[in-house]
Chain A
Amino acid sequence: MTVHPDKTAGASAPPDRLGPMARREMGLAYTMLLPTFAIVLAIVLGPLLANFWISVKPIGLGDLRPAALLVNERLRGDFDGPGTTATLEYRLRNSSQDKPIEGAGFTDTLPEGLTVAGDVDERCTVNGAALTCTLGEIEPRFRDSIRIEVAADAAYLADPVNPRDSDAAVTGTSDNVLTNLEFTWDNFSRIFSSSDFWTVLKTTLYYTVFGTAGALVTGLFAAQLLNTAFKGRSILRGLFLFPYVAPVIAVAFTWIVLLDPFSGTLNSILRQMGVIDAPINFFGQRAVPLNFFGLTIEFPVALTTVIVFEAWRYFPLSFLFILARMQSISSEMYEAAEIDGATPLQQFWYISLPQLVGILAVLFLLRFIWTFNKFDDIFLLTGGAAGTRTLTVNVYEQAFAISNLGAGAAVAVVVFAVLLAFSLIFFKYSPQDEG
């Protein structure tokens, strides 16, 4: 679609073999792209694959800290004078409740002035001031202690050193659940069999479709308003972009304060105007029954509110793009239509709208994907309560609230799969190349 300006430069080179110049250019290009490749591979593509890996592993949040031998040393008893003994005690514990440690052991340096008196625990050897203990494989929940009789000399007693001042160096390896080869389908079977999975999927679709459509339609409307020149237009254009530019935490909490059922301004205004009798709990109420000609439907209050928020926050983006496109439509067409007697609405319908189809399609695609991916907004507004839990909020819920990283990753796999499916459908059926 773009004509590369440098296509002509190498036209004389044979197409199947690269000359030395071309090869150097290629090398240069790859060198310049290398940093980008590296960081994208490490932080985006790598984790994307790793997510599949984690989704088939039985891993909880607590498993991220590998099992380790914990050593706690202290001196028991007091020295009565030079040559007398006290007990140096090492208390040992396996930090993990369910994983063994292999080759466990530790080494420590005895404080200067202390010497070993009597027998040493059979697991340990002393070499000068160096103490080495090997425990071999230890069980989960392993607890033990090693006691060593030590004698102090006069120098030590004059200036006692706490044995803790030299930390024991721990050895031993445990099975890292992230890297071992233990797999399970439990995560997937758990999320698919959970009763609210399909509700979550449905909520996600509603949120994505209506959030996208809302942002596009309001953006289109706003763009129509500012397409004609008038005093104060640039100020209004700046103002209209505020919701998009401000940080999500700021606007989300502002909406929570604004819509609060007890101290919220909006509820007060509506009640003052006599529109409602009792305050509406916009973010807390799941649904209210509405009566249409004897037909009762459950109107989802909280879900609608977060969709309105989504439209409010992202209409500036579509507004900006649509306005830019509208200002590039030549005015001659409108003049011609005016002469032919087309009314303003006809001009909009038959001239503006067809010109905008391309940008609207692109915006719909982008916004659809981004809304589907959106996590922050709902998480901050409702935390996924009151029937607003989408797939992305569910990822967080599973991985960090229930502390089951594997299940969270499994939901993330579903997110990615649905996204991929949407993208394929879009690219197959979208209008080709406008905009």
Chain B
Amino acid sequence: MRIGTGFIAGIITGAIWGLVWMVVVSVTFMLVSGAITRPPVGAAMLAGAAAGAMATAFDPDRRTPGLQIGTLAVIAIVLAAATFGLPLGLPLAVAAIYQAIAIAAIIALIWAATRACMHGISGGRLTRYQLEIVFIRLMKGLGLVFFTVLVALPFYVMVMTSLKSQQSLLANPLDFSLDFSQGAQGLFRSYVELFADYHFGTFLANSTIVSVATVIITLLFAVPGAYAVARLRFPGQAFLSQSILLIYMVPAIVLVIPLYAVFSQLGLRDTLTGLMIVYPATTIPVALYMLQGYFRGIPSELEEAGLMDGLTRVGVISKITLPLSLPALASVALYVFMIAWNEFLFAFMFLDNIDIFTLSRGVVSLNSSEVPRQHLMAGAVVATIPVLVIFLWFERFLVSGLTAGSVKG
């Protein structure tokens, strides 16, 4: 056994993991169980440091399963001793089941993370290479925890708030424990009220109509345009294929005043038709750009063969090009659907009549002091779920389409 930089690195790594897991797990424990505590962070750091010291005190090839069990025991003992038998700073009887799970999770996670970081690293003097390996493992682990919490916490709060009541949240903002005794009817009260009293059924239908119409119109316009730019020769072709994306750079806020003025006078402003004209106009350039990139990748010999065999251009497009570009069509359709579904500015400016509100516009109307917060969050969940489900379902398409469309050029 040698004591060197590896040993010190092990202690520091263990202490950091002790801190992180204590904070993350005890906050999760508080959110789930509703119990309140101040997590004993110092004790957890001490336990982590002990785990790191114990792991690096042995050479990598002598870290037997017995040693691992010993490390787990050391973490548990140090944690218990340093907190005087209250590992989460709470009497063990409070939310006992949750607390038991939380304590077990803290011990196991500290052990696993420290072990993963110090895997194959001895306690002796480390080279710069090994030191950087430890550092990068630590940063990657911390990064994964950080990003997961960063992304998951808001969405967790969104869903859980929609299932709680205003009073209980004001009483204890950390308590997201669910009261299952009230039954499904009581748990989903906000959603029932949204659809019964706040016209969310209509909003959902309106959003669907506008988004699907936008997808269809966009494809109808962009497919021939993209084909022309990709395959046909005409003056200005090269310029168009490069510059069409510039249209996408024009800020919507610059367009909103003239469109508001003109649509008001034409009587198009407070209508869904107005939105179905504006949305495709903003999505067609992107769709055209993404599609022309894909069309270029299709071997032109296939189309020439079709022309030789007597097909017209339209026949070539519908019988050869489009069937071959189904993945691209799917990803463009998804992307356009997402833009139209999430659009806020024009919906907010144009729509006054509650019967034609889209979801974006409808959720904004919930943001007042008269409407309880859980309704607002339930509205947010209703607006998010369709687009997230579609996204997760077709994620592969969407990701490849997004990157292929915009990285090139």
Contact = CB atoms under 8 A, between A and B. Distances in A.
B308 to A, nearest CB: 13
Given A48-B250, A50-B258, A272-B30, A324 B173 contact: no
Interface of B: 23, 27, 30-31, 36-39, 41, 128-129, 132-133, 135-136, 140, 143-144, 147-148, 150-155, 157-158, 161, 169-170, 172-174, 176, 220-222, 224-225, 227-229, 231-235, 237-238, 240-241, 247, 249-262, 264-265, 277-278, 280-282, 284-285, 288, 296, 299-300, 313, 338, 341-342, 344-345, 349, 359-360, 363-364, 367, 373, 376-377, 380-381, 383-384, 387-388, 391-392, 395, 399, 402-403, 406-409
13 contacts: A29-B229, A35-B225, A36-B285, A245-B388, A247-B342, A248-B342, A248-B360, A250-B158, A257-B373, A258-B157, A265-B173, A345-B135, A409-B258
Given A26-B234, A39-B281, A415-B251, A263 B173 contact: yes
A33 B373 contact: no
Contacts of B367: 253
Contacts of B133: 344
A44 B247 contact: yes
A360 B44 CA distance: 39
Contacts of B256: 395
Smallest CB-CB A-B distances: 7 pairs: A43-B281, A373-B251, A250-B380, A50-B258, A32-B224, A47-B258, A29-B232
B265 A40 contact: no
A238 B235 contact: no
A362 B261 CA distance: 35
Given A25-B233, A321-B406, A51 B254 contact: yes
Nearest to B313: A28
Interface in A44-69: 44-48, 50-51, 53-54, 59, 64-66
A336 interface: no
A180 B128 CA distance: 75
Given A344-B132, A380-B344, A416 B360 contact: no
Contacts of A40: 247, 281, 284-285
A235 B281 CA distance: 34
Interface residues of A, number: 104
B250 A44 contact: yes
A369 to B, nearest CB: 5
Most chain B CB atoms below 10 A, which of A54, A272, A373: A272
Contacts of A380: 344, 364
Given A33-B224, A239-B148, A239-B151, A224 B143 contact: yes
B234 A30 contact: yes
A204 B155 CA distance: 28
Contact of A343 (B129, B259, B296, B387): B129
Contacts, number: 297
A396 interface: yes
A2 to B, nearest CB: 7
A61 B392 CA distance: 43
Contact of A255 (B154, B169, B264, B364): B154
Given A5-B296, A6-B300, A43 B261 contact: no
Nearest to A227: B140
A32 B344 contact: no
A221 interface: yes
Contacts of B140: 224-225, 228
Given A40-B281, A178-B261, A247-B384, A435 B144 contact: no
Interface string A392-435: 10011001100001001100110110010001000000000001
Given A33-B224, A65-B264, 6 more contacts: A6-B231, A247-B387, A257-B376, A272-B38, A324-B407, A343-B128
Interface string A323-347: 0110000000000000001011100
Contacts of A88: none
